[in-house]
Amino acid sequence: MSLSEVRVAVVGVGRIGLTHAESLARRVHGARLVAVTTSKPERAAAVRECCGDVAVYPDLDALLAAGGLDAVVLASSTSAHADNVQRCAAAGVHILCEKPLALTLADCDRAIAAAEQAGVKLMIGHVRRFDPGHVEAKRFIKSGAIGRPLVFRAISGDVDPPPPSFADPAVSGGLLLDAMYHDLYLSRWLMADEIRRVYAEGGALVDPAVGAVGDVDNAVVTLRFTDGAMGTLFVSRTTRYGHDLRVEVIGDEGAVQIGRFRQTPVRLLDRRGVHHDMPWTTPDRLGEAFVTEAQAFVDCLRGGTEPPVSGDDSRATVAVGIAATRSMHEGRAIELSQV
């Protein structure tokens, strides 16, 4: 069944949830933002400031009890994703769930099964797949422009560590499953291959509070793909110079590079050198990709097609994140067949 207009609510309006809400309220064709959930008055005020007079409910139960919904965007904590998917599916509501789908493979399976049994669509927020630079890189690679892909390289850095309450692996999954997750799904997508072995090193090198809850703030991971290609990934909570997202795929006939250091297309040149600004947050760097991602979700509901990113895609990425985290703690390479 297709929908002419999709009535959407956003569950959780932190930084990313608010980005989704604004996109749905103002920039996504065929969508109507009808509600959000938050228990914090200041977040409700922020929503109404950027999205207009939108209904605010204290939690998901109150939202679902009110009815009048076609779909939700789940921007709640990762530890709540599987339960929230299950509850929304039972209510017959389609779901765009922020990454990752869950913290364990069993919970991924539970969420996927709930959506399938209820006959609702489940899409996962793999936002970088909707960024124009990554889309164009995929086109180059698929066309054979760089020959056979041999090496995937990525850097992902946030300016400041999150609060320890979020860094807690029981809540977010930890640095590798939370932040490096983006590079893991990109590597599988751009290389058109699955990862078979990972090795990780990491540490709380800057923020002791992150280490105190059992997480790390900087890590390096190496990958081996099924067909023999390799990968190197660096992820950080402490790139003080800005929100640094870069990817390179090297092939046997060339390479493709994705990323930028400048937010505003202007440079100042003076006696001290060359100066420009930087993106500082994920919405700064990927704002348009969030709109394109939400539009793809709404389009699949209106057109009755399958979402471009499935629950199974997230499950495969979660498996790699779990393997990398295990490798970091055990000090040895982990085969994906062992997860």
As beta bridge partners, residue 149 has: 251
Could you tell me if residue 32 is inside a domain? yes
Whether 36 maps to a domain, the answer reads: yes
**Strand, helix or coil at 116?**
helix
Predicted pLDDT at 5: 93
Does one domain contain both 166 and 211?
yes
d(CA 74, CA 80): 9
Q: Do residues 136 and 264 both lie within one domain? A: yes
HEC letters along 172-186: HCHHHHHCCHHHHHH
Q: Round to whole Å and give the CA distance between 191 and 138.
A: 9
Same domain, 205 and 259: yes
pLDDT digits (tens, 9 = 90+) for 319-339: 999 999 999 999 999 999 999
Mean confidence (pLDDT) of the chain:
96
pLDDT of amino acid 264: 86
pLDDT band at 2 (very low <50, low <70, confident <90, very high): low
What is the three-class DSSP state of 67?
Answer: coil
User: Are residues 133 and 275 both part of a single domain?
Assistant: yes
Distance CA 206, CA 211 (A): 9
Residue 1 has pLDDT above 60, yes or no: no
Mean pLDDT, range 110-125, rounded to an integer: 98
110 lies in the same domain as 163: no
Looking at the structure of the chain, the number of domains it has is: 2
> Does 195 lie in the same domain as 225?
yes
Task: Say if CB 226 and CB 196 are below 8 A apart.
Answer: yes
120 and 133 in a single domain? The answer is: no
Measured from the Cβ of residue 79, the count of other Cβ atoms closer than 10 Å reads 16
Q: What is the mean pLDDT of residues 286-297?
A: 96
Q: CATH no. for residue 167?
A: 3.30.360.10
* Residue 232, helix vs strand vs coil: strand
* Residue 199 confidence (pLDDT): 98
Residues spanned by the domain of 120? 6-127+287-310
Please determine, for residue 42, whether its predicted confidence score (pLDDT) is greater than 90.
yes
CATH label of the domain that carries residue 302? 3.40.50.720
- For residue 314, give both structure tokens: 């997230």
Q: Assess whether 143 and 268 both reside in one domain.
A: yes
Contact at 8 Å (CB) between 182 and 100? Answer: no
The pLDDT, as a whole number, for residue 180 is 97
Element (H, E) at 277: none
* Residue 274's pLDDT band (cuts 50, 70, 90): confident
Residue 303, pLDDT > 80, answer: yes
Answer yes or no: do 56 and 26 share one domain: yes
Same domain, 70 and 166: no
Residue 59 predicted with pLDDT over 70: yes
The pLDDT of residue 262 is: 81
What would the mean pLDDT of 64-86 be, rounded to a whole number?
A: 97
- CA nearest neighbour of 152 among 201, 87, 218, 198: 198
- The answer to the question of residue 1 being in a domain is no
Residue 220 above 70 pLDDT?
yes
Q: Could you count the other beta carbons within 10 Å of the beta carbon of residue 287?
A: 18
When mean pLDDT is compared across 63-77, 192-206, 279-293, the lowest value belongs to: 279-293
58: tokens are 């204290």
Assess whether 160 and 27 both reside in one domain. Answer: no
One domain for residues 200 and 272:
yes
State the alpha helices, DSSP H only, in 77-157. Answer: 81-90, 105-118, 132-143
Integer angstrom CA distances of residue 294 from 49, 76, 105, 270: 20, 16, 25, 42
Residue 273, pLDDT above cutoff 80: yes
Residue 261 confidence (pLDDT): 79
Angstrom distance (rounded) from CA 229 to CA 192: 11
| pLDDT tens for each residue of 240-264 | 999 999 999 999 999 999 998 788 8
